Structure 1
Amino acid sequence: MPRFLRPVTRAVTYTRWLHLLVGAAIALILAFIYPGLSGPSVADWLLIAVQPIPLVAATAVLPSMRRAEGLQARLMLFPGQHARVPGDDGDSGVSVAPSASWSDRGRTAVWLVLRLEAGCVAMLVTIQLLGTSLALVGAASSDPAEEPGLLLPLPGPNPANALLVPVPILMLLGVMVVGGRLMTSAARQLLGPSPKERLAALEERTEQLLERNRIARELHDSIGHALTVAVVQAGAARAAADPAFTDRALGAIEETGRAALEDLERVLRVLREDGQRASRRPTLAEADQLLASARASGAKVDTDVSGPVERVPGPVSREAYRMLQEALTNVLRHCGPVPVRVRVTALETALEIDVRNPLPAGGEITGRGGSGLRGIRERATLLGGRATTGPRDGEWQVHVELPLG
């Protein structure tokens, strides 16, 4: 099918034209009262289009009017499942929220007046072109009768007039397509979201992205730590070939896996949003579980905890737990069961975490720029602190400073 004929086959072309015609309903009702529709002149048509303007503009004061117009525009001006346009993403760009400011009311008033005038023009064009087409049918067989109200001149009687009958119809279809597209563009401008609504939508989107990033980090830290411990324990048990050590390794794998499953269930509850209360996230006061898990993997963990760690604010304590977890996971993943020094210091105004371990042979750690260490730095930045990672004096260091103010 030729491209220029495609709009004629789409239902949205006709719903848009119907939307235009409905806009002239109030003008048509008032026209029956005055000046009447019996052979209206050009001046009468002008009066019909102008006299409803004060009434139509006044209705824009009602906040619900903007919602009603937005819903109607979405339904009739934009392609839906009944007339899907290829490549359309379904976003009409038209708001259905009530007017929240005088700016919204002003834009709604302009839209209503525009719709009124466009509807009057659409009604006049439809009447004239359809009437002309019918008059041409009569002119093809006999003398054309004087058609009251027609503005276009009619040719004399001639059978060839039958060939002209489709011309007004095609003109009407062209006006329908162009008029519908113009009104669709105007709807996006006048009924689109206000700056306040756009800001609210942007804030909501930002919150969703932040939540998704937080969940991704939670899964990475928790599941990654559990899998790392399981791999290290399994390898150590196979190398040791000691039934007692194997039992301890299996116990450590079981405990770490159970904790990971609890974290996974908590995250899935958040994603489902089923109203169930999510389980509590671990805090730095429970770091003994992490240290025990690392020791069970064969690492020699030297711990120094000073200050009232249990008094650290909840958000800082929970994020610090995940940072420590990721730091220990990186040690086990990249260096194996090596000696690790962990220092946690809770001061009045700041919390410091320092994790150090010997560098492997060659002095390089593969994957040091991965998402785990990047996640530590991102967490610290969101809390107003900073985190540094990298080699120092022959050791690999993860140092975190978080403010408590």
Structure 2
Amino acid sequence: MRLRRTGEAGVRLRRAAGASVGRRARLRWVHLVLGGALLMPYWMLSVVLYGALNPNQPPGRQLLLYVLSLLTSLPMAAVTALVPMVRGLEGAAARALCSAARPEELATGPARSWGARWRTALWYVLHVLFGGVVAGMTLAGTPFAVVLVCGFAGTREFVRMWERHFPGWLVTGPVLGLGVLLLIVGTNAVCGALLARWAPALLGPTPEERVAAAERRATVLAQRNRLARELHDSVGHALSAVGIQASAAARVLRSNPDFAAEALAAIEETARAAVAELDAVLGLLREEDPEAAGPAGPTLAGLDDLLRQLGRAGVAVDAELAPGLAGLPEPVSREAYRIVQEGLTNVLRHAGPAPAGLRVRLADGRLEIDLTNPLGPARPSRPGGGRGLRGIGERAAALHGGSAAGPDGDGTTWRLAVWLPVGGTT
């Protein structure tokens, strides 16, 4: 028990020493000294003004003049901090030197509202005030403490004066000098800790800025999800088709060379189309604004090519396509193509070369997609699979539509149903 208490005391002592003279304390000291440097122009201006208004001050009132100058310099500093860009500069300094607990909560841009400006002004006043105190103690107290510790000339006289004014407080020069140094270190630690604690509240983003940042993050995530769906549906479909075609070609390479040659030609065509779609999606990633560049991908006009590719892979699709699909809005047509592509790819992955039925209709102002296929034998699941149906649901929801998927009542047929409003766009 005693050893544990001794160890805990040692840990607390090391933490206290680190907080007082460690790297964080040294960075905060630099931050406070910079604040003292920022205070000097305001303070000197106040001293000049007071000196001009009250010339020939007696020496006894000089200290009062300096204190009043300090008090009047703070409002001038607050007015200066109302400039919007001050928040960004102070936030950068606080992140780099003040070592706040969560520096990511500090704003990086200028203050765009008066509430943010007033909070920045309060922070700036505290920074220059605490910085002035610490800088003044450092510049005046450190040489004084060194003189006392080293016992230079005049030290004994100062100690005798101390004992004369404070009878009973017997202290030697070195002890008093160490006390002054500890006072400087402690003041720096306390002021730095207070500023670090108040930094998120005074330099942090406003509620409006937090909402804007959340909207930007949501936009970025939506773009990433859209690009991920494009890659999944285009490249995933191509790889599934290529895998099935390559497997079929390998089985009949010796017995049916013509069919194997046709399968290899289909693999080449599928790979070329996949490379083209992949290049289009990667082009969106290179754009600074993917939304402005416009989404890539085929539309329902290319559905015949998709059905022909799947036929070469062994999936016979009984398609019933309504007239007028070419006149659909491009967002609806593009998303509908991807939904059909992913649905047929799922047939290829999970049911194998099985016949499928596809119905694409226009009814009551919406586009209806109905895809059915017989349930084949269970196949081993792929690592990372299961994103297809979720992607279909996300595409339908983005156009204010809906989807449903699952086996029919008799359990022999899998059915995918999707409905999209013809005028619904994001």
CA distance in 2, matches of 1:203, 1:102: 22
Identity %: 38
Match in the other structure for 2:6: none
TM-score under structure 1 length normalisation:
0.84
Match in the other structure for 1:227: 239
Match in the other structure for 2:221: 209
Instruction: Summarize the alignment of residues 112-261 of structure 1 with structure 2, pairs less than 5 Å apart.
Output: 112-126=124-138, 129-130=141-142, 132-134=144-146, 136-137=148-149, 144-145=156-157, 160-240=172-252, 241-261=255-275
Aligned with residue 12 of structure 1, among 27, 32, 37: 27
Cα shift at 1:342: 0.6
Are 1:282 and 1:318, in contact at CA under 8 Å, matched by a contact in 2?
A: yes
CA distance in 1, matches of 2:264, 2:211: 52
Cα shift at 1:218: 1.4
Are 1:387 and 1:400, in contact at CA under 8 Å, matched by a contact in 2?
A: yes
Inter-CA distance 210–40: structure 2 relative to 1 (3 Å threshold): farther
Cα shift at 1:217: 1.5
2:419 counterpart letter in structure 1: E
Are 1:139 and 1:155, in contact at CA under 8 Å, matched by a contact in 2?
A: no
Match in the other structure for 2:7: none
Match in the other structure for 1:322: 338
Matched, 1:21 2:39: no
Cα shift at 1:235: 1.8
Match in the other structure for 1:397: 415
Are 1:60 and 1:105, in contact at CA under 8 Å, matched by a contact in 2?
A: yes
Inter-CA distance 51–192: structure 2 relative to 1 (3 Å threshold): same
Cα shift at 1:57: 2.6
CA distance in 2, matches of 1:144, 1:404: 95
Cα shift at 1:180: 1.4
Match in the other structure for 2:283: 269
Inter-CA distance 341–366: structure 2 relative to 1 (3 Å threshold): farther
Match in the other structure for 1:357: 373
1:13 counterpart letter in structure 2: R
Inter-CA distance 303–271: structure 2 relative to 1 (3 Å threshold): same
Structure 2 unmatched runs, 5+: 1-10, 52-56
Instruction: Summarize the alignment of residues 26-37 of structure 1 with structure 2, pairs less than 5 Å apart.
Output: 26-33=41-48
1:101 counterpart letter in structure 2: S
Matched, 1:387 2:403: yes
2:80 counterpart letter in structure 1: T
Cα shift at 1:399: 0.6
Deviations 1:114-134 (A, max 9, x none): 233323433454356436514
Are 1:57 and 1:113, in contact at CA under 8 Å, matched by a contact in 2?
A: yes
Deviates more, 1:138-147 or 1:319-328: 138-147
Cα shift at 1:253: 0.9
Cα shift at 1:45: 4.9
CA distance in 2, matches of 1:279, 1:203: 20
Q: CA RMSD in A?
A: 3.4
SS in 1 for 2:334: helix
Deviations 1:280-325 (A, max 9, x none): 4211221112111111111211100013111222222111111111
Are 1:300 and 1:339, in contact at CA under 8 Å, matched by a contact in 2?
A: yes
Inter-CA distance 366–379: structure 2 relative to 1 (3 Å threshold): farther
CA distance in 2, matches of 1:99, 1:6: 34
More helix by share: 2
CA distance in 2, matches of 1:295, 1:39: 103
Are 1:20 and 1:115, in contact at CA under 8 Å, matched by a contact in 2?
A: yes
Deviations 1:193-241 (A, max 9, x none): 1222222211111111111111221111112111111111122223333
How many correspondences in the alignment?
390
Deviations 1:35-55 (A, max 9, x none): 579776764454133212332
Cα shift at 1:275: 8.8
